[in-house]
Chains A and B, each alone.
Chain A
Amino acid sequence: MARVIRELVPEDSQMDSDARERMMGHLLSVQRGAARGPARRTPARRALVPALAFALIIAIATAVILPTLLGGKHGSTTPRSVAGFQKLVGDVQVRSNGASWKKASMEDAVATGWSVRTGVASFATVHFPDGSIMRVTDGSEAVVTRIGSGYVSIRHVSGSTYHRVRKGTTYVVTNQDVSSRARGTAFNVENRVPGHLEILTIESAVEVAIGKLEPIKVSQGEVMTVTMAEKKADKQPVSIDRLKDGRLMSSVQQDAEAGYPTGVYENVDLSGQTTPATSPEQTTQPTAAQPTIQLAGDVAETNATLNWTVSAEDAFRQFILLRSEGSEPEYPADEVASYSDTSISSASDNSITAGHTYQYRIAAKLTESGDIVYSNTVVLNAAVPQKQPDKASVSISANPAADGIDVEWSVTGAETYSGFEFERVVEKAPAGSPTPEGTTTTRRIESGDVFYSYFDSAVLPGHTYSYRVGLIVNGTVMVYSDWTQAEFVRK
């Protein structure tokens, strides 16, 4: 029967996006109500409730009935959670769920499930109901995976997408299992270099989560590059050259024209004629005249290895290794080691815990001034090591009951097994028994149905039975329990 169920049970399907959205709206109102706690009605409130209810009915009746009586169409339509195009330049195409690509028009209502793609020298600006915008730059593609009340999620497929998020909106951009979550910020997501995803924060901060790992904050003026195959991340201040990128400049310029703050570009001439400055948060980052320090790192189980290189010999008099979880490591709060011997260029940290994500960077003291120069930040995930298999064993017990023998067992030292082989031997039987001594019964318990008990009702009075259970791994019995005996007295 279990096999039949498995054969018939359908694949998972997705809830209708409108239904889900309605449900989310309802749940958020339930949450607000639950957070306030049960309302305690005062006598005055009791009097108010019927009055308000009556007023509400009148208001609804007026809104719904009056337009009909007056011969017009129904007043307002239910507001739909769809986005629209604010600007279309060049070759821009859209498609709804499962449909074919078509040329985009300003009249298109971009709903959940819609994709937008652009050709050469083209771009599209999508305007969401909450006021957030997404700019799909040339040669790029993105999918709107959800538009809800105060919630927008985008799947960045290829190229580069620029996002200006309205304050208060939860806005998430995903690419494979990397998600960038922002509230009230501007950032750019790009994967034009194969195998690499770049998240660049123009204003405020973005939280980037790789898989299920703890999110990493990418602050204004920082760029995180994720190597997708290895899920390694490197975070560092954005370079001036990167800021001068034409696509970025163009998007930020449009933001500036619309009156939005331009974050890291605040002091930059958007005409591109002058050298941009870094963000206020990065005042300690190296200027063009300063020596620089570049950090690289790797992790094996719970041992992190850091290596650094400097741009000029004897430029620094001390290196301080910084480490933190969750936020950018700062000097001196996050110091884990310091090195006055500046010939040292590597460090090993074996005090980390598996399953945690660490950020490292070097604070280097300049030889002359003693000022701090920070390296880039390296993000390392200490993976949980694979557990070495213990020796498996099965323990068993058999207890006579009124109408049979209840056999139970448990397993230690094995995590993956597909079932059990249940074996019974008649140890003692009265003369003339249909199941004489030595009669053996073997039953293989269905693969995938891992049970830990069996009620043997096919027993006869006056018989003694021995039982054992074998643990099945990859189709064969890996280990048997000891034998256990039970005598069945009566039925």
Chain B
Amino acid sequence: MSDGRIQPEKGTGVLKVVDGKGAFPGSLVREAATSVDALERLCDHYIPKIYNFILKRVGSVPDAEDITSITFEKVIVNLGSFDETRASFTTWIYKIAANSVTDFYRSRGRRKESSLDDAVAGAIAGDVDELERADLYMVLVDLLKQLAPKYAEALSMRYFAGMRVQEVAEALGITESAASKRILRGLEGLRQLAEGGPLDRLI
């Protein structure tokens, strides 16, 4: 993600992701619970990122809008419990978004049919080949829904939100090693699900 950079932790030398230049100021995060201005700035900063993360995961604009709204509602209500010593705000908000997607699927049943909304298709499709690419992307979205949520979460954070493995680990509350294993197993699970299907020739 653009908000973080990796640097060695003082003393141990262990690589950690720290907030970068593009990170949202911590003071504004706290103010967002009560200040309209701070909330609007927080939303300006994070809505595009979270909306796209969710849209890529669900492939439907109305669903993505709903889940984005639910995510930010949870963020506002829970701002008081956000502990910046445990995770960066960016990681925290992505975790809430991922949970909201999982809850959304649970409430609707995991194997709900997907439809490629114009916004997603438009972002992919430019010509005939691109239309095929858009169709293949929706196949991928459907396969992701068939994965166990913990693998789908890890994969979407890694590949849709562009998180580093360390950030995925932080968001999921697991070790870095466990996060990388979860991503690898998720990829392997996807590969198995894709076998014999339209994505098979690309693998």
Give 8 closest A-B pairs by Cβ, nearest first. Answer: A10-B123, A451-B180, A412-B13, A453-B177, A8-B137, A1-B187, A11-B123, A10-B124
Mask of B150-188 contacts with A, CB within 8 angstroms, 1/0: 000001001110001100000000001100110110011
> Are B40 and A408 neighbours in the complex by a CB distance under 8 Å?
no
> Are A16 and B65 neighbours in the complex by a CB distance under 8 Å?
yes
Given contacts A27-B43, A170-B37, contact A452 B159 (CB under 8 A): no
Known contacts A13-B52, A16-B65, A34-B76; can you find 19 more A-B pairs with CB under 8 A? A1-B187, A4-B202, A5-B140, A6-B159, A9-B160, A10-B123, A13-B123, A14-B48, A16-B61, A23-B68, A23-B72, A24-B40, A27-B69, A27-B76, A31-B34, A412-B8, A451-B180, A452-B176, A453-B177
> Are B69 and A7 neighbours in the complex by a CB distance under 8 Å?
no
Cβ contact of B165, chosen from A9, A16, A212, A451, cutoff 8 A: A451
Task: Output the least CB separation between A172 and chain B (Å).
Answer: 9
Query: Does A57 sit at the interface, judged by CB under 8 A?
Result: no
Mask of B1-30 contacts with A, CB within 8 angstroms, 1/0: 000011110000111000001100000000
Name B106-139 residues within 8 Å CB distance of A. 119-120, 122-124, 133-134, 136-137
Interface residues of A, dominant DSSP: mixed
Task: Output the least CB separation between B162 and chain A (Å).
Answer: 10
Query: Does A447 sit at the interface, judged by CB under 8 A?
Result: no
Query: Does A56 sit at the interface, judged by CB under 8 A?
Result: no
Query: Does B96 sit at the interface, judged by CB under 8 A?
Result: no
Query: Does B190 sit at the interface, judged by CB under 8 A?
Result: yes
> Are A455 and B181 neighbours in the complex by a CB distance under 8 Å?
yes
Query: Does A49 sit at the interface, judged by CB under 8 A?
Result: no
Task: Output the least CB separation between A424 and chain B (Å).
Answer: 17
In the complex, the number of residue pairs spanning A and B with C-beta atoms less than 8 Å apart equals: 132
Residues of B with C-beta under 8 A to A170: 36-37, 40
> Are A1 and B65 neighbours in the complex by a CB distance under 8 Å?
no
> Are A35 and B184 neighbours in the complex by a CB distance under 8 Å?
no
Name A6-54 residues within 8 Å CB distance of B. 6-16, 19-20, 23-24, 26-28, 30-31, 34-35
Query: Does B103 sit at the interface, judged by CB under 8 A?
Result: no
Query: Considering residues A10, A24, A150, which has the most beta carbons from chain B within 10 angstroms of its beta carbon?
Result: A10
